[in-house]
Chains A and B, each alone.
Chain A
Amino acid sequence: MSDTGHHAMWEKLNMDLEAHDGLLEVLGKFYGDIFLSQENRLTGAEYLDFVLSEVHGLRIRELQDAKAEGRKVIGSFCVFVPEEITLAADAIHVGLCAGAEAGSDLAEQLVPRNTCALIKSFIGFKMAKLCPYIESSDMIVGETTCDGKKKAYEAFNEIAPTYVMEVPQTKSTAARDLWKAEVVRYMKAVEEMTGCTITAEKLKEGILIANGKRRALQRLTALRAASPAPISGRDALLVNQISFYDDPVRFTAKINELCDELEERIAAGGGVAPADTPRLLLSGCPMAVPNWKLPYVVESSGAVIVGEESCIGTRNSRDLVDESGETLEAMIDAIADRYMKIDCACFTPNDERLDNIEDLAKRLNADGVIHYSLLFCQPYTHEALKVDKALQAAGIPMLSIETDYSMEDVEQLKTRVEAFVETLA
């Protein structure tokens, strides 16, 4: 993790240095155990290791430098916030992570105890002054995707500048109109904050950059269909996690390089695990950095993860914005349409997700699916039951896991996952 040479910068960001040092130390150890210990890693993984080691260091320095030049930083918690628009205003879009328990006890002053770990984590990170991304953000964009978040942003607004987008709950025409209006409203808010007028030309550029990133991720997803699995699920998850906060153009180039290497490896018949290793698809709630518990448990139980049906996974990269529009109006429509395709569990009904999971499992030659939901997450725990039924009908075995960020259930998780893997072998 980042060396302490960045202390002065963190101090300026009003972070709690002592607590932050503690966090970095834990993270560093965690990273070493979970990532660096892997065998047969790709050369391209050096990029991942470097970015992660400088996640609170060099990347934050870049953000500060950009801010010094007058650019703005926008933080978001959800894949619904249109990055194209942020980019069109020459602002920087970062996904805030919320994947660790640190500060969660503090969060219970602002949100109920029975709230999902993700919400508690982002509130806790702010309250404990642990996250340089939150502290660097000029605006944080929330969304009304679930009741927990909806109410949490009200509380969060009291401690950080929060702008909320209203995400509809159905896919009706009225819902689509509402969403388009929200996209336009977001564009205005971004223009106002950055003092930059978004033109058709700039928006086009934003669309191309965001699509480029998605295309690289799609390429990675497709390559993972190969057997033996060419990349570990942990490294692939890391790629997806990093896609939220590294510079998008640099990220796209690096991931395409990584994919070149994967293609060579596949052509040579190489892989990270023997060809007969059970292949699993992870599906469900987003896994924010550094929430690596389940992937680690799965990949130390004799299985390999070949895909993530998650917001930090295919839900974020599956659909592109149509690039053919030339006017601002046409592009906004294309953006609104693309985001309406997101199959978040917050929609009712949300049957397309069931088809998408089945389709992805088949495309990636998965032997089974592990459905992951965070404790107290209503939308995804509900859908776990539906997904189970749909997959059963399709003859694809599924294991449902409900957990949070704590480590107390690791042994039980191992038993469950190992037993599931045994049923596949």
Chain B
Amino acid sequence: MILGLDIGSRSIELVGLIGGEVVLSRKLPTTFSPLDQCSRLLDGLRPASLVGTGYGRNLIQRLALDCECSTITEIKAHALGAAHLFPEAGTVLDIGGQDTKAMSLVDGRVLKFEMNDRCAAGTGKFLEYTAGVFQIPVEEFGPYALKGENPPEISSICTVFAETEATSLMARGESPEAIALGLHKAIVKRTANMLRRVGLKFPMVFTGGVANNPCVLRLLAQAVNGEIGRDILIPDNPDHMGALGAALHRHNGNAARVA
């Protein structure tokens, strides 16, 4: 079995392939001890090879596995995963826990990519943090925001400033749902710009945990003028795309660089 392990800032996903077929997928939150979480995910498995990806990809060196180990970046991994499920994909958008990435693809290969700068502006973290202001779990934040109308303009995409802005809008009596919608709009605006910079081509595959957020999805479709299901495609498990891509990298027999 070939394993792909995506060590992200918020969650760690594991996908196992045999003969190119997904035979296993697991997920755990990253927590403060990602190494322990990795060991937990790998418990009882004896893979022939493992490919690490994600922001913590180099941690695999410390797992002391007795199989062939290598790493690829999450940019390549998401592209491989997306292109595998949707070979016609022209663009991949991945909004993860702490990074947002946009990639343009040609024949499944990354041609150009963009990634957010240092801070967590416009990433899953932004939504998680601002959801906290409303005291609702991040999973419910999207449906909640969809109930909003006439969203106020949130001018800051800085996670911390946006919180301040949201709080003062509340104090001004704006409806919380509308504010939540405004926050979603702020990150979608930024994401759409990033997509334009890499040269957005449909169909676009949306991966990463934030692809599960229905509000982001709807706003994004509006912003880029695309139809969900035709121009914008969401895999069944958008957050497993990195791990899948990592495993596929090995399966496809690409010369893996040993980490």
Contact = CB atoms under 8 A, between A and B. Distances in A.
A412 B75 CA distance: 12
Interface stretch (A56-64, A215-223, A414-422): A414-422
Nearest to A302: B257
Interface string A136-165: 000000000000000000000000000000
A402 interface: yes
B118 A415 contact: no
A359 B73 CA distance: 30
Interface in B15-54: none
A423 interface: yes
B109 interface: yes
A416 B110 CA distance: 12
A224 B99 CA distance: 36
A415 B117 contact: no
Contacts of B72: 422
Contact of A419 (B76, B117, B118): B76
Nearest to A402: B117
B118 A418 contact: no
Contacts, number: 36
A69 interface: no
Contacts of A397: 112
Nearest to B113: A419
Contacts of A420: 113
A411 B59 CA distance: 13
B253 to A, nearest CB: 14
A400 B15 CA distance: 32
Contact of B73 (A402, A408, A418): A418
A409 B118 contact: yes
A415 B257 contact: no
A415 B115 contact: yes
Nearest to B116: A412
A412 B55 CA distance: 8
B163 interface: no
B55 A419 contact: no
Contacts of A422: 72-73, 75-76, 110
Contact of A415 (B74, B109, B110, B112): B74
B111 interface: yes
A387 B194 CA distance: 19
Contacts of B109: 423
B112 to A, nearest CB: 8
Interface in B81-120: 99, 109-113, 115, 117-118
B255 to A, nearest CB: 8
Contacts of B257: 302
Interface in A373-425: 397, 402, 408-409, 411-412, 415-416, 418-420, 422-423
Nearest to B110: A423
A11 to B, nearest CB: 40
Interface in B107-141: 109-113, 115, 117-118
Contact of B55 (A302, A402, A415, A423): A415
A402 B117 CA distance: 9
Nearest to B103: A419
A169 to B, nearest CB: 28
A146 B107 CA distance: 43
Question: Among the interface residues A397, A409, A418, which one has the most CB atoms of the partner chain B within 10 A?
Answer: A418
A408 B118 CA distance: 8
B223 to A, nearest CB: 22
Contacts of B117: 402, 409, 412
A296 to B, nearest CB: 15
Contacts of B55: 411, 415
A416 B73 CA distance: 8
Contacts of B113: 419-420, 423
Given A302-B257, A422-B110, A423-B109, A412 B115 contact: yes
20 contacts: A397-B112, A402-B117, A408-B118, A409-B118, A411-B55, A412-B117, A412-B118, A415-B55, A415-B74, A415-B75, A415-B115, A416-B115, A419-B73, A419-B110, A419-B115, A420-B113, A422-B72, A422-B73, A422-B76, A423-B113
Interface of B: 55, 72-76, 99, 109-113, 115, 117-118, 257
Given A415-B73, A415-B115, A422-B75, 19 more contacts: A302-B257, A397-B112, A402-B117, A408-B118, A409-B117, A411-B55, A412-B118, A415-B55, A415-B75, A415-B99, A416-B115, A419-B76, A419-B110, A419-B115, A420-B113, A422-B73, A422-B76, A422-B110, A423-B113
A-B complex: 9 closest residue pairs judged by Cβ atoms: A419-B75, A419-B73, A422-B76, A418-B73, A423-B110, A409-B118, A415-B73, A416-B115, A302-B257
